[in-house]
Chain A
Amino acid sequence: MPPVADAVVLSRQFDDAEQQRSAADLGIWIFLATEILFFGVLFAAYAIMRIRYPEAFAVASRLTSVSLGSINTGVLLTSSLTMALAVRATKLGARKASIALLSATLALGIVFLAIKGTEYYLDYRDHLVPALNFSHPGPQAGQVEIFFYMYFFMTGVHSLHMIAGICLVGVMIAMAARRAFSTAYYTPVELSGMYWHLVDVVWIFLYPLLYLVSRS
């Protein structure tokens, strides 16, 4: 094992490593709070529309691909596990394990996006994309279209966050490969992990709201 105690780079505004670490910690929590309010707008809009048009939302939800959505939920939850293990490995100074686990997280993130893309293609094939080719028989067409608008908007914004997360994990892999982390300094991995988990938590709410409205 290489020596690690001297690996902390202290920025000039901080007095010690502990102050620097706890500042970064508080910073990411506040950032995650802003993310929750960011998504909160979409959840609020969804809630209002669903309360207003429960039948149309039930009909529309059954048109989503629940099997792919469920697989994706499993993929994303697994990626959170590998992420959590990666953070732990980094803390313990197990560099190879950390790189392997981060790479697994990255791969699972890409698998998630690939499956999501497949779903989008199937939706396009089934004429479910608002503004492009939406068509739905029956009197509830407009309301079903609103459901799919929310579906694409919410999963789209979530996917943008996934892409940002994948880039972040990529940077972490590169940093780990350059031996940037040590048992004394692992803040970037920890913060990336928290971001990754938040994006996962958002999906945990999106999945039942979009795929499971009236399936039994």
Chain B
Amino acid sequence: MTTAAMPVPRPYLDAGFSLWSWLSSVDHKRIAILYAVSITLFFFIGGAAATVIRMELITPAGDLVSAETYNKLFTMHGVIMVWFFLIPSIPSTLGNFLVPLMIGARDLAFPRLNLASWYLYILGGLFTVGALIAGGVDTGWTFYTPFSTMFSNTHVIAAAAGVFIVGFSSILTGLNFIVTIHKMRAPGMTWFRLPLFIWSMYASSIIFVLATPVLAMTLFLIAIERFFGVGVFDPALGGDPLLFQHLFWFYSHPAVYVMILPAMGVASEIITCFARKAVFAYRSMAFAVLAIAVVGFLVWGHHMFVSGQSIYAGTVFSILTFIVAIPSAIKVFNWTATLYKGRISFHAPMLYTLGFIGLFTIGGMTGLFLASLALDMHLHDTYFVVAHFHYIMVGGAVMAFLGGIHFWWPKITGRMYSDSWARFAAILVFFGFNLTFFPQFILGYLGMPRRYHEYPPEFQVLNVLSSAGASILAIGYLLPLCYLFWSLRYGARAGPNPWRAKGLEWQTSSPPPTENFGATPVVTEAPYAYADAAGG
């Protein structure tokens, strides 16, 4: 590969210092920062709702908030965390920043569309926060009919409008990524030389563009039906509320893979770098993300095993769900095989990633419990489900997101943070997370249903453990905010490649110039060509 030995060009961060220079920038790197700031804000709003939930559940009696308020809290927690943090998290920030850099392009294919996506995200966020301020929504993030269309007295339409709009932000980001990856690769960057992070962005983008429109139209149907009091989900006319569940999960199950596939991409980059080894079985890793994206479209009925759907449908959905676990397992095995005989160093990004692998494995395995028809009868709508998907979404996606932020922070900002503080935070998050959510597996198995603000006294010990863990987790999430901000001013200069990592993004300066590379790079080697492997 070529390295640009030119006079150091002006970093993208210095391209303008006014607020307007940021709000009007079409540079993918600056838009990534806009997203990073906004999703962090939403993360802490959603986290505040979770904090009140965990405080309420310290005691069996519903004494802190009323049942109605509790319903609004878990709805806002779900809506904000799913649509305004998790789904955009890695694609909109790291993806936006890294996709052009990793493939050797100057920008995404449609830079203005990229900026428009961010404005759509903010507009959707305003609607949702507006619904929150106006009194909240109590339907749960799933908006199940007929409650959402006929019975709820809360601001369903405003919240649905927010999610509808933010959906177009996802669609346009996905469209931008697909076109960019197809058309903008540098000379020599063939499909099988792409970093696995790019493959994961590609697979996620397919889900963005093919699943999100279904959610958008479904929410539109909800809003119209609620407004006019008549519609296709209305059982009084002969309509079918279950139709909503099919349409909703047709989007929302693939959406779960939108959260985890980018995390898998991040993990692949970090593990290879800190094991100083090429990823084990590169092609199977690339095909596995595509397989997860495709099969993920065919498993939505596993959310509806107790809805009265036919036993044959249930069986097929159960089998397909077991099948989707195979490519996920391939990835876990390959990461482990990559570590084998690697020269492993435990910097903060690696700690987050190792945590990711363990927690994702637990989350995935418990998903198979839930995919079993008979077991799901017992576990459906209990805290077992809550623990399962938090292991995937928080233990998996958020851990990898934090790992990725720590890994690429020197590239994004040009500064190093304190590695010991970062390692401490990573360990704190890992322990806090497990203390929060492992007790919930047991609670669910014992029969505690989700979405209630009070519970029988015998569940109190486990709930207190969970709330204690949540407070540790909160500190673990606040710490990076402190030392990362600190590093912006006082951190040591990072240099182009502090981790001695492979990949085009590390060949340009840190922070990169607006045009990314001095000259278009030419790729001549396979990805992850770490020469010093196997004790070398």
- Chain A interfacial positions (CB closer than 8 Å to B): 11-15, 19, 22-23, 26-27, 30-31, 33-35, 37-42, 44-45, 48-49, 52-53, 56, 130-131, 134, 142-143, 145-146, 149-150, 153, 157
Contact = CB atoms under 8 A, between A and B. Distances in A.
Given A13-B184, A52-B238, A145 B108 contact: no
A27 B209 CA distance: 11
B242 to A, nearest CB: 10
A34 B175 contact: yes
5 contacts: A12-B106, A33-B210, A40-B217, A41-B213, A49-B232
B237 interface: yes
B97 to A, nearest CB: 15
B20 interface: no
Nearest to B168: A34
B358 interface: no
A128 to B, nearest CB: 13
B236 interface: yes
Given A27-B109, A142-B236, A153 B224 contact: yes
Shortest 9 CB-CB contacts between residues of A and residues of B: A142-B237, A131-B228, A13-B107, A41-B217, A38-B213, A37-B213, A23-B183, A23-B109, A131-B230
A131 to B, nearest CB: 4
B109 A13 contact: yes
A77 to B, nearest CB: 25
Majority-rule SS of A interface residues: helix
Contacts of B229: 131
A11 B216 CA distance: 31
Contacts of B221: 41, 45, 153
A12 B515 CA distance: 9
B182 interface: yes
Majority-rule SS of B interface residues: helix
Interface residues of B, number: 43
A41 B184 contact: no
B507 interface: no
A13 B176 CA distance: 13
Given A41-B213, A45-B221, A146-B238, 16 more contacts: A13-B108, A15-B520, A30-B178, A31-B175, A35-B213, A37-B211, A37-B213, A37-B214, A40-B213, A41-B214, A44-B247, A49-B239, A143-B237, A143-B238, A145-B237, A157-B217
A157 B106 CA distance: 38
A33 B208 CA distance: 11
Nearest to B237: A142
Interface in B229-273: 229-232, 236-240, 243, 247
Given A23-B109, A34-B213, A48 B179 contact: no
Given A41-B247, A142-B236, A143-B237, A34 B210 contact: yes
A149 B230 contact: yes
Nearest to A48: B243
B293 to A, nearest CB: 14
Instruction: Name, among B111, B183, B210, B520, the residue most crowded by chain A CB atoms within 10 Å (CB to CB).
Output: B183
A193 B208 CA distance: 25
B212 interface: yes
Contacts of A14: 109, 184
A128 B183 CA distance: 50
A143 B171 CA distance: 34
A130 B238 CA distance: 14
Nearest to B110: A27
B445 to A, nearest CB: 36
B218 interface: yes
A34 B182 contact: no
Contacts of B232: 45, 49, 146, 149-150, 153
